[in-house]
Structure 1
Amino acid sequence: MRPSRRPAARRRATALRREAVLAAVTVASAALLGAAGPAAPGTTGAPGAGDPYFPLSGNGGYHVRHYDLGLRYDTSSRHLAGRALLVARATQPLTRFDLDLSGLKVEGVTVDRAAARFTRSGQELLVTPRRALRGGEEFRVAVRYHGTPRPVTDPDGSADGWIPTDDGAFVAGQPQGAMTWFPSDGRPEDKSSYDITVTVPQGRTAVANGVLAGQRTAHGHTTFHWRETRPMAAYLATATIGRFRVQRYTTRDGIQVYNAVDPRQARAAAPVLRKLPAVLAWESTLFGPYPYRAAGAIVDQVPDVVDSLETQTRPVYVCAPDLSTLVHETAHQWFGDFVSVTTWKDIWLNEGFATYAEWLYAEQHGGDSAQKTFDALYARPASDDLWAYPPGDPGSGGNLFDTPVYERGAMALHELRRAVGDRDFFRILRAWAAGHRDGHGTTTQFVQLAEQESGHALNRLFHTWLYAEGKPNSA
């Protein structure tokens, strides 16, 4: 995620506060695949995954392998009708489990085609299947639902999830917005393949993740079928809808590019989007091969939202991005999407890395060196917001997507680069992406990898730049 170049910062955003194919998926954490065992009466999945910042985000007791979402959206009434089929595996015996779903009315739930009992409690949809599920058993959950989706309000006051626009909807789910439009397991570490089918009034375009698998128009409506076969966290899914100009092509490396641009942003966006193939190629030389078959951009016009987001394969932008923003969100395809955080406490692993990619791009394309950028930041006084809190533990309030996580997180990486040298530094970045591919990681694991690859003791460096309060004594 990267705040747009608009004057207002994310934490000051207030305009929306009142609107409150099945692919085999390789997941890095073996804990997601629990051992089989007999069902035990009274065994329920936890209502949350225990994230220190969002304790009710995600659920315990199962892993979702695949989501098949069928949506129909009326852009005039803003009514959404949905059908979600989740293919999951129980990681423990289950007599009940939860799904994350906010606001929308549930019409019915089945588990393995048998009607299941369900109740609602806040953002939790509690499902009791007709029979207990054994640990290790694969099962299918189907949920029918409808209503007017409304975004959730994050701790910093900004809107998150399904956000209505004047011609459709802008759908960006970080950190907890996926539950505003489909029932899910909202843990960033729970990654799944997706089929997303969206029917909209003719003349509108619905854009989601991965490759466009089909498109048809009949009776005044157009249906778009998108397929993402690589593992994806729920918050990285999108189904953005609007009147878009569409551009499609394939890069020299065989990446299928699909750009959807609001006509009001087309002129400003065109020069930057033309650079996407070159940015993909440049980042691939630094971070390893591009992880996905598809790429592109969704450029919408959303005046009351200040954040763009690295939705997998196809980032969403609230207005025409500048080149630095394009570099940032594209870098997230490796750092944030290909390798996700395990908990939101480690968000600097996403944002610090993508910010440092901006520094590297400038350095290698005629701009300021990374050292000059670092020095300018370090020159800020101790009272500056840059030093307001440590990026390795930003807290559960409005700090998750603010300056220290981005800029001081990037400074930590630059200090690592200075300590180990360019050869080891870039090997560490490539090894991080390759070693945690399609999975997730933690700061502790990154520090261990950096020490292993470089042969340096680095705990003190990372403590200073990620966890120490205030401005470090020396650069």
Structure 2
Amino acid sequence: MIRIRIGIAATSAGVLLAVLAGASAGCGVLPELLDSSPEYAPGAAGIGDPYFPGYGNGGYDVVGYQLDLRYDPAAEQLGGTATITATATDNLSRFNLDLAGLAVSSVSVDGTAAEHARDGNELVVTPATGLADGTEFTVAVDYGGRPQPLTSPDLGAGGFQVTGDGAIALGQPESASTWFPVNDHPLDKATFDLEIAVPDGLVALSVGVPGKTTSADGWTTWTWSEQTPLASYLTTLVIGDYRVRRSTHAGRPMVIAVAADLPVDGPAEQAMARTGEIADYLETVFGPYPVDAYGGVVVSDDRIRYALETQSRPVYGKVFFDSEPVTWVVAHELAHQWFGNSVSIQHWRDIWLNEGFATYAEWLWSEHDGGPSADEMFDREYDRIDWSKPTADPGRSGIFSQAVYKRGGLTVHALRRTIGDDAFFRLLRTWTAEQRNGNASTEEFVTVAERVSGQPLREFFDTWLYGDTAPAR
């Protein structure tokens, strides 16, 4: 992102034989001692993130989301059904989903009606019977209402925002819960399928591979599918008047959309036209492109003064293309398809693993495209940064700070200088390959860096990521 934001419980063989003998003698102890009914308990109302304890939920792992929705811009109403396939990771008597504001009319689990209640932005679901650890189950939630963004005094607004001609659902660190029930934390990545009907004449854009578009009775249904597991904040929904260009790049669909009120063939479209070229260059550095589609969406809304790496199809605020077709922001968001999307963070304190490498991708692209070199960019930013602010574990209010972005980029280049180009670029490809479609922490990155380089690097990372004074260049 860029901002300008039944098993038998341990019973010994001897005891078991005695029990069996007793049972055969008519003692009646076998049913009691061999009762293997699991104990059920509620899933946690948070996934355990130190910065955001209420984000996500415990007790299950989502496999995929399937949304069948309709949005009426005139009434500002969103409604439909979310079908969530998940696997229990504990014996669950009930579980939570994150859902902000919208009204729920019914919930079923595996086709049977389930009790449901609201606790703030938590939807608490109690199935008719407990869900045993390891059981795959399906939840269907019928819901609707007028979605609202979530606001934070230190992180701003994110989520579903109504526009003059439609809506934009976008944001980090949370946004998905404002428009569908979700386990809203990067630790629970899942596939994502969307069908959404909007009035004829409007476009409905999202992530992944485009499917069929059909019209009936004044409504057009758009379909999108992302089968590479993604973190929930990497979903998006953009509805409105857009110029859409579809093509194929490297065997994958490319969908680029620009708000209709922005100039035809203007700076935004010129920058977007280089998406495939930039992705191809980054592939030579980071390894194979890790998602199933390409593209980008440029929105014309003054509230969106940032770009976000929504999976396969980043969303850009028009502010980046006011006068020039700048491409550094495209390089940044495309780099996130590897760093942040494919390799996602363990907790939000690890966000430099996303933003530091995406910032460094800007520098690499600049050098490749005839601009300042990575060395020159390093020297410029080194002299500007506030070294008193840590890069790793920057605090909740610091996750979008320059310490994360710029000092993160400085750390990456300093690592390159320390271990040499050969080890550095092998490290990038090793990291993205080994951690593909997973989650990772700063500690894991340090371990991999030491293994690949063959050098002790703990002191280096302590200095560059956590120190409060400028390290030697």
TM-score scaled by length of structure 2: 0.90
Matched, 1:361 2:365: yes
Matched, 1:377 2:381: yes
* Corresponding residue for residue 257 of structure 1: 254
Matched, 1:76 2:71: no
Residue equivalent to 1:310:
309
Greater CA deviation, 161-170 or 52-61? 161-170
Question: Are residues 1:441 and 2:440 paired?
Answer: yes
Q: Percent identity?
A: 46
Q: Distance in 1 between matches of 2:200 and 2:388?
A: 49
Matched, 1:148 2:167: no
Q: Greater RCO between the two (CA within 8 Å, min separation 6)?
A: 1
Query: Residue 14 of structure 1 corresponds to which residue in structure 2?
Result: none
Whole-angstrom distance in 2 between the partners of 1:90 and 1:116 = 16
What is the one-letter code of the residue matched to 2:401?
D
Deviation at 1:148, TM superposition (A): 0.7
Moved more, 440-449 or 365-374: 365-374
Residue in 1 aligned with 2:415? 416
Aligned: 1:2 with 2:12? no
Aligned pairs for 1:112-127 within 5 A = 112-127=110-125
User: Number of residues paired by the alignment?
Assistant: 437
The Cα shift of 1:305 comes to 2.4
Deviation at 1:473, TM superposition (A): 4.2
Matched AA of 1:268:
P
Counterparts of 1:315 and 1:38 in 2: how far apart (Å)?
Answer: 50
Q: Distance in 2 between matches of 1:337 and 1:316?
A: 14
Which residue number in structure 2 is paired with residue 29 of structure 1? Answer: none
The SS at the match of 1:82 is strand
Q: Work out the CA distance in 1 between the residues paired with 2:369 and 2:406.
A: 20
Offset, 1:388: 4.5
Tell me the SS of whatever aligns to 2:224: strand
Shift of 1:68: 0.4
Map of 1:164 onto structure 2: 162
Question: Does 2:336 correspond to 1:332?
Answer: yes
Runs ≥4 residues deviating over 4 A: none
Q: Classify the secondary structure of the residue corresponding to 1:52.
A: coil
Deviations 1:358-389 (A, max 9, x none): 01111222111112111112223xxx6x3342
What corresponds to 2:48 in structure 1? 50
Residue identity matched to 1:464: T
User: Unmatched 5+ residue regions in structure 1?
Assistant: 5-9, 11-36
Task: Specify the code of the residue in structure 1 equivalent to 2:344.
Answer: S
Alignment match, 1:192: 190
Return closer, same or farther for 1:449/1:39 CA change in 2, 3 Å cut-off.
Answer: farther
Contact 1:168–1:241 at 8 Å: present in 2 too?
A: yes
> Separation in 2 of the partners of 1:143 and 1:350?
32
Deviation at 1:255, TM superposition (A): 2.0
Are the aligned partners of 2:276 and 2:294 in contact in 1 as well (CA < 8 Å)? no
CA contact (8 A) 1:359 1:369 kept: yes
Q: Look up the equivalent residue of 2:404 and give its one-letter code.
A: V
Which letter does structure 2 place at the counterpart of 1:259? I
Measured after TM superposition, the shift of residue 38 of structure 1 is 6.4
Letter matched to residue 394 of structure 2: P
C-alpha distance in structure 1 between counterparts of 2:36 and 2:195, whole Å: 36
The residue identity in structure 1 corresponding to 2:331 is: V
Does the CA-based 8 Å contact 2:157-2:171 persist in structure 1? no
Q: Note the C-alpha offset of 1:292.
A: 2.0
Q: Return 269-278 or 332-341, whichever deviates more.
A: 269-278
Instruction: State the SS of the aligned residue for 1:404.
Output: helix
> Which structure is larger by alpha-carbon Rg, 1 or 2?
2
3-state DSSP of counterpart to 2:211:
strand
Structure 2 partner of 1:277: 276
* 1:269 counterpart SS class: helix
Q: Show the counterpart of 1:432.
A: 431
**Structure 2: runs of 5 or more not aligned:** 6-34
